[in-house]
């Protein structure tokens, strides 16, 4: 079964909108795990517009499955990860003003930087993953950084799914095969939803984990959070 890690950024966005503690992020995370999710993902950005750095510290104490912290490895982020020591860190090259992640790493151009950062995380026993586009060259070069996994950026798959599912997934199948040949674990995320997740899981060899947040929370407004978590788990079997 492919593991489901629920990104709870949108829960924090809703909380921050009123300046209080409703919804309570810690309690929601506990509920999501009780509903069956196999991991929790957070993405603390420098402006803390949704997940705050303190949230990472608080969630480390309560997450019982796997805590995945993703973000751009600027010094403040690196210090946080080394302090919290999550189960996994996912490195994403998003600009400070980006609304959401919109590209994978150029693992050739940034190989030395990524190798140095990954070495620091690995020394703490933290599993590492690099956010990459579905490009064989970028996946192969990721191996040179010492990372444990790559996470395929699935926006182009999601945007082309309705019009031509087979064509939209083709590059991801190739990238997954390259990751397998390189001995890299494989994660995926961005714009995956209840409509397109089954097809993706069926076509992608060696897929270990998906991280889903925005769509899952939106779908939960209509279908309920517990129900949606279990719908994803059913589709990922």
Residue in 33, 43, 50, 66 annotated catalytic: 43
The residues with which 69 forms a beta bridge, in sequence order, are 42, 89
Does the annotation mark 70 as catalytic? yes
**DSSP helix/strand/coil, 4:** strand
Helix (H) or strand (E) holding 61: helix 53-62
For this structure, is 110 an active site residue? no
Sign of the dihedral through C-alpha 99, 105, 109, 113: positive
pLDDT of residue 102: 67
Residues 139-164: tens digit of each pLDDT:
999 999 999 999 999 999 999 999 99
Q: Domain residues of the chain, as ranges?
A: 3-235
Relative to beta strand 207-212, strand 3-7 is parallel
Question: 3.40.640.10, 1.10.3720.10, 3.40.50.300, 3.20.20.70: which CATH number matches 3-235?
Answer: 3.20.20.70
Average confidence (pLDDT) over 9-23: 96
Residue owning tokens 């083709």: 170
Tokens of 158: 């999601």
Q: Is residue 229 within 8 Å of 35, Cβ to Cβ? A: yes
**pLDDT on residue 103:** 81
List, for residues 169-180, the tens digit of each pLDDT value: 999 999 999 999
* Spatial separation of the C-alpha atoms in residues 88 and 126, rounded to whole Å: 6
At residue 190 the predicted structure's pLDDT band, cuts being 50, 70 and 90, is very high
Catalytic residue chosen out of the listed positions 33, 50, 66, 190: 190
Q: Answer whether 0.85 is exceeded by the pTM.
A: yes
Annotated active-site residue 234? The verdict is no
Annotated catalytic residue, options 33, 66, 70, 219: 70
CB atoms under 10 Å from CB of 148, counted, come to 18
């Amino acid at each position: 079964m492919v593991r489901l890690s629920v990104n709870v950024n949108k829960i924090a966005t809703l909380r921050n909108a009123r300046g209080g503690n409703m919804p309570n992020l810690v309690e929601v995370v506990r509920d999501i795990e009780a509903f069956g999710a196999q991991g929790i993902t957070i993405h603390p950005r420098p402006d803390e517009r949704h997940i705050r750095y303190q949230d990472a510290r608080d969630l480390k104490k309560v997450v019982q499955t796997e805590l995945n912290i993703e973000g751009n490895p600027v010094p403040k982020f690196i210090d946080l990860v080394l302090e919290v020591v999550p189960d996994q860190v996912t490195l994403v090259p998003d600009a400070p003003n980006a609304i959401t992640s919109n590209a994978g790493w150029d693992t050739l151009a940034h190989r030395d930087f990524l190798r140095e950062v990954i070495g620091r995380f690995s020394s703490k026993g933290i599993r590492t993953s690099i956010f990459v586009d579905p490009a064989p060259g970028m996946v192969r070069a990721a191996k040179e950084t010492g990372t444990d996994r790559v996470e395929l950026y699935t926006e182009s798959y999601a945007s082309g799914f309705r019009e031509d599912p087979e064509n939209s997934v083709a590059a991801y199948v190739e990238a997954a095969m390259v990751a397998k040949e390189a001995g890299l674990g494989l994660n995926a995320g961005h714009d995956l939803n209840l409509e397109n997740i089954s097809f993706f899981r069926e076509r992608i060899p060696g897929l270990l984990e998906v991280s889903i947040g925005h769509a899952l929370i939106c779908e939960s407004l209509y279908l309920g959070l517990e129900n949606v978590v279990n719908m994803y788990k059913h589709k990922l079997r």
